[in-house]
Chain A
Amino acid sequence: MSAVETLRPASPSRARRAWTFVRRLPLTGQIGILILLFWAVTLLTVQFWPLVDPLMMAGRRLQPPSADHWLGTDALGRDVLSRTLHGSTYTIPVALMVVVSAVVIGSALGAAAGYLGGWTDAVIMRAADVTLSFPPILLAMTVAATLGPGLPNAGLAMVIVWWPIYARLMRAQVLEVRTREHVEAAIAGGAGRGRVLVVHILPLCWTPTLINATMDFGQVALLAASLSFIGLGAVPPSPEWGSMISEGAAKFYSWWIAFGPGMAILSVVLATAFLGDGLRDVLDRRGPK
């Protein structure tokens, strides 16, 4: 759990601990952090960068990469580089919100199921089983279509797809930690059920969730882009990566339209896979899965 704290730099000593933690990661994990940092900085500051407006039809249409337009222009003459960089403000926050919501909802339900047992457990876990019976993209498509197109709805659909994973994870952890001696001692000492769960059990359950959430972040970003590609996520003219690739698919011979956003998605997915692997190496001392 100390790792969770070190990831939250608040005081100078924490910053130093974060730095030592980063240095313990394997090289690939450090590269992952660098890539994610790049996108974090980009999405926060891109509006101040000296870029062409991503929505402005500034140049000539379907121009291949050149000195003026490093990644060329799309079918409407918009600058692909500018659109790719601005795309980070769509996909990444959505993926982040989906993962955080899925972790919070899934973990709460999983902890309740594992700790309370009985009917609560049965109902929650059967719901999780049914949800996991769907191929993820099909369930996300159906829910997103039912709710109507738009990035927020796609996000909601993805939370519905993803919560059971964290519910199962947290339930297994709670069941395991619950039998440890310090928990039994706390119960014997007369601590209330809520207090035992919050103070004695949950703090020990976060490591697997953290690792999984890191690895899932890229997959969620991928699914978000997929939904946009299908037309159920971001709506045009937003420069969302998935819908940009969809536009590129329509203008198939101008490969550069899809190249930038594709590389962007790939970099995010790879970065989280690297970082997740690294976190598992450092935090999970029980060895490889």
Chain B
Amino acid sequence: MLRYLIRRVLGVPFLLLGVASVAFILSQSTKGDPLSALVPERMMNNPEIVQAVEAQWGLDKPLPVRYVVYMKNLVQGDMGTSFNTRRPVARDIAERLPATLELVVAAMIVGTTLGMAIGLLSARFRHSIFDNAARGFALLGSSLPIFWSGLIMLYIFSVQLKWTPGTGRLDARTQAPEGVTGFYTVDALLAGNGGLFIEALSHLALPALVLGWSVIGIVARLVRSSLLDALGQDYVRTARAKGASDRVVLINHALRNALIPVLTVLGFTFAYLITGAVLTEAIFSWPGIGSYAVSAARSLDYPAIGGVTIVGATAFLLANLVTDIAYAWANPRIKVSG
């Protein structure tokens, strides 16, 4: 297992190289002309700009050289200039990344806590009405088109019931909190601004719920089955023989063992959430990299889409790596055995 982990860690740079190579190939095939992936159409007749871009990306050189130049630029954080914002893509992404992370983390908290709670109760009361209803609820979450359920929820809770504010991370006139994390909820708390925290949280709640709902099923299903598996193990009988109550057995023994397989799906869940975040952000006008990618795709802003894709894939790879390491850490059987 240790060897597997080392191989896993060493494999990440190669996968990243592969990801970047795919991005390069795509940038070279845009409309049959790599230039059109770097320069907006309306600036094509501006020779100065065209020349500067050609020099920067080595477009007058042969393909292998262009590949090296592309990689060099990428390593230096240069992903080109967005057609829409006319700013470096890397800067746009850096500014918007915290919003996406805040949404994804919040959705992950929603999805895993609700998923675990539902899975736990489903295992405890299996084949009951609750069990079936909970599975239906979870299945609905993973089957709903998120760009539609988000719309419907927004209509119900914001427009009709007025329980939640409208779209965006804050009310239109509110000044964003100064802060290090870029998570408005956390920054507001750090600044000791309770009102701002409530406002940021109420904006975050609905999109996080909609997005989190989509992964509840994955988590709940796994928690239920691995918990049922754990409850049938010999060590559960041993614990009962020690005089442990059902609650102690469930929490100290079954749950601990059942959570190990759950760790393995967290990486998968993260991938699912990144995909869902792209669409959720578009619906809730959430100023993260997802809505950035969607508006870039709508206007064929190639550098922006490419940049988001590379960043998204990197996040995805790292999340899976962290999951694997966490799995090894949580499972003492794996730690020593080679």
B266 adjacent to chain A (CB < 8 Å): no
Q: Are A142 and B305 in contact (CB under 8 A)?
A: yes
Measured CB to CB, the closest approach of chain A to B302, in angstroms, equals 7
Residues on B with beta carbons closer than 8 Å to the beta carbon of A231: 297-298
Stretch among B72-80, B145-153, B181-189 lining the A interface: B145-153
Interface range for A: 35 or more
Find residues 95-135 in chain A having any chain B CB closer than 8 Å to their own CB. Answer: 126, 129-131, 133-135
Q: Are B23 and A142 in contact (CB under 8 A)?
A: yes
Residues on B with beta carbons closer than 8 Å to the beta carbon of A146: 26, 29-30, 37, 302
B306 adjacent to chain A (CB < 8 Å): yes
Chain B 115-141 per-residue mask, 1 if CB under 8 angstroms from chain A, else 0: 000000000000000000000000110
Q: Are A252 and B151 in contact (CB under 8 A)?
A: yes
Cα of A248 to Cα of B302 in the assembled complex, Å: 26
Q: Are B293 and A133 in contact (CB under 8 A)?
A: no
Find residues 29-47 in chain B having any chain A CB closer than 8 Å to their own CB. Answer: 29-31, 37
Name the one of A138, A255, A273, A288 contacting B308, with C-beta atoms under 8 angstroms: A138
Q: Given that A134-B316, A249-B151, A262-B152 are contacting pairs, would A145 and B305 also be in contact in the complex, using a CB cutoff of 8 Å?
A: yes
Total A-B pairs in contact (CB under 8 Å)?
135
Interface of A, helix, strand, loop or mixed by DSSP: helix
Stretch among A72-80, A82-90, A222-230 lining the B interface: A222-230
Residues on A with beta carbons closer than 8 Å to the beta carbon of B151: 245, 248-249, 252, 255, 258, 262
Q: Are A138 and B278 in contact (CB under 8 A)?
A: yes
Q: How many residues of B contact A (CB 8 A)?
A: 48
Q: Are A266 and B305 in contact (CB under 8 A)?
A: no
Nearest first, the 7 closest Cβ-Cβ pairs linking A and B are A130-B18, A262-B148, A269-B143, A137-B275, A135-B274, A231-B298, A138-B309
Could you list 19 further interchain pairs (A-B, Cβ under 8 angstroms) beyond the known A138-B308, A255-B155?
A: A129-B15, A131-B22, A133-B313, A135-B275, A138-B275, A138-B309, A142-B305, A144-B297, A145-B297, A146-B37, A148-B300, A225-B145, A226-B147, A229-B282, A230-B298, A231-B298, A249-B147, A259-B152, A266-B144
Q: List 23 A-B contacts (CB under 8 A).
A: A130-B19, A135-B274, A135-B313, A137-B275, A137-B278, A138-B274, A139-B22, A141-B278, A146-B26, A148-B300, A225-B145, A226-B145, A230-B279, A242-B147, A249-B147, A249-B283, A252-B155, A255-B151, A261-B148, A262-B149, A265-B148, A269-B145, A270-B139
